A and B are shown apart, each in its own frame.
Chain A
Amino acid sequence: MELKDFIQQFAEQFDDTDASEIDAQTSFHDLEEWDSLIALAVLNMTEKRYGKRITFDDMKKCDTVEDLFNVILAK
């Protein structure tokens, strides 16, 4: 599991936010399009692609995309 790949997968869950707006240091909760449906898609993608299960609570504690990546990595 690589950070670069994760960022790309994460960005793919957005319909209207361009991938160029999302990098390791993006505070994803502040993105205008971020909402509970995208959160569900990210959780599902994480499980399907990386075989790791994280919760909404795990996600809430993260600020940046890299924080989220590290939480998933530690699972």
Chain B
Amino acid sequence: MKAYIKGIAYYLPEAVLTNEELVEQFPEWTVDKISKKVGISERHITTEDETAGDLAVKAAEKLFSERNIDRSQIDFVLLCTQSPDYHLPSTSCIIQDRLGLSTKCGAFDFNLGCSGYEYGLAVAKGLVLGGIANNILLLTAETYTKYIHPLDKGNRTIFGDGATATLVSNEGFAEICEFGLGTDGSGAEQLIVKTGCARQFKPANDYQVNEECGVHSSDNLYMNGKAIFDFTADVVPRLIEETLQKNGITMDDVDLFVFHQANKYMINYIRKLMDIEKDKFFIFMENVGNTVSSTIPIALCEAEKEGRLKGKVVLAGFGVGLSYGAVVLNIR
């Protein structure tokens, strides 16, 4: 038996943050410089009462209607999020009810960021091949913008909110082939929201600006740009090599690379390190930004619209954890 992607859809919240608005707040930047360098012109932002669960429900509804999917056939819900609606219960359980899915559905959330889509595909494939479920609704939904400090211009420029829905089944248009996965938890503090959970429940109120690391606040999203840049440049080429090997193919056999859309400059740096031709390297972030676990399925949707999904497609996600994962899709 094999596992396939049968359909993908995505949903973005309505409110938009433009480069013009960012430059108004941070006049030391220019609109042109932001869009050229990070490759982002606008990002969609959730309102205060809009959650990852809300976005995921909308993405799933879009998938059902666009692909004419019978929701009664869904027998598992996987939600990848680091901004769940509640500490408990699992947001996936709430989504089962909101979508009117069968109560015979299995459902759970898993907490991963930029590598989340590959891990979701890996678990979904396992469920299919293990005979545990036949139609898995894999959701990714993130509202990182709620975690970002208003003065953190770097992260506000990069991140946007959004959600995606993918149906994984025993038939479909993209066979989910072999994976390469990896973790380096020693880098956990390089990309983190420190407070609000069990380790430190109460806010720390320790906001400070550090030139090397940017805004540092335990109550907000913190990213050590240098550590993440170095991690990515170090790990991605090795991850791809290992994944291609597992699939018994070489770089030349790959028709399209779809990497986590972190920011345009960084992923182009990796592209150049790996000698990947520009036309085999899909970039889609200009009007969405970095939507964490949703960047790859959003890019896949767009690549499909552009007719660029064919042959062997390599997906690679990397980031918070630090966690990374890659997989080869064989498009039928």
Residues of A within 8 A of B (CB): 12-13, 15-16, 33, 35-38, 40-41, 43-44, 47-48, 55-57, 60
> How many chain B residues touch A (Cβ–Cβ < 8 Å)?
19
Q: Across the interface, do B265 and A15 meet the contact criterion of CB distance under 8 Å?
A: yes
Q: Across the interface, do A44 and B212 meet the contact criterion of CB distance under 8 Å?
A: no
Tell me, yes or no, whether B187 is within 8 Å of chain A by CB: no
**In the bound complex, what is the Cα–Cα distance between A37 and B229 (angstroms)?**
9
Binds A, one of B4-12, B32-40, B167-175: B32-40
Q: Across the interface, do B265 and A57 meet the contact criterion of CB distance under 8 Å?
A: no
Q: Across the interface, do A15 and B36 meet the contact criterion of CB distance under 8 Å?
A: yes
Tell me, yes or no, whether B275 is within 8 Å of chain A by CB: no
Known: A16-B36, A55-B212, A56-B212. A37 touches B265 (CB 8 A): yes
**In the bound complex, what is the Cα–Cα distance between A55 and B212 (angstroms)?**
9
Task: Select which of A15, A40, A47, A48 is within 8 A of B225 by beta carbon.
Answer: A40
Q: Across the interface, do B36 and A44 meet the contact criterion of CB distance under 8 Å?
A: no
Tell me, yes or no, whether B233 is within 8 Å of chain A by CB: yes
Known: A15-B265, A56-B212, A57-B212. A35 touches B230 (CB 8 A): no
Which chain A positions have C-beta within 8 A of B38?
37
**In the bound complex, what is the Cα–Cα distance between A38 and B233 (angstroms)?**
14
Q: Which of B230-283 contact A (CB under 8 A)?
A: 230, 233, 263, 265-266, 268-269, 272-273
Which chain A positions have C-beta within 8 A of B49?
none
Q: Across the interface, do A47 and B230 meet the contact criterion of CB distance under 8 Å?
A: yes
Tell me, yes or no, whether B67 is within 8 Å of chain A by CB: no
Q: Across the interface, do B211 and A56 meet the contact criterion of CB distance under 8 Å?
A: yes
Which chain A positions have C-beta within 8 A of B154?
36
Tell me, yes or no, whether B226 is within 8 Å of chain A by CB: yes
**In the bound complex, what is the Cα–Cα distance between A57 and B265 (angstroms)?**
22
Q: How far is the CB of A56 from chain B (nearest CB, A)?
A: 5
Known: A15-B265, A37-B266, A56-B211. A44 touches B233 (CB 8 A): yes
Q: Across the interface, do B37 and A37 meet the contact criterion of CB distance under 8 Å?
A: yes
**In the bound complex, what is the Cα–Cα distance between A15 and B36 (angstroms)?**
9
Interface string of B169-205 (1 = CB under 8 A from A): 0000000000000000000000000000000000000
Q: Nearest chain-B residue to A60 (Cβ)?
A: B211
Task: Select which of B33, B36, B269 is within 8 A of A41 by beta carbon.
Answer: B269
Q: How far is the CB of B14 from chain A (nearest CB, A)?
A: 29
Q: A15-B37, A37-B263 are in contact. List 19 more A-B contacts (CB 8 A).
A: A12-B272, A15-B36, A15-B265, A16-B36, A33-B37, A37-B225, A40-B225, A40-B226, A40-B229, A40-B230, A41-B229, A41-B269, A43-B230, A44-B269, A47-B230, A48-B233, A48-B273, A57-B212, A60-B211
Which chain B positions have C-beta within 8 A of A15?
36-37, 265, 268
Q: How far is the CB of A32 from chain B (nearest CB, A)?
A: 8
Q: How far is the CB of A37 from chain B (nearest CB, A)?
A: 5
Which chain B positions have C-beta within 8 A of A43?
226, 229-230
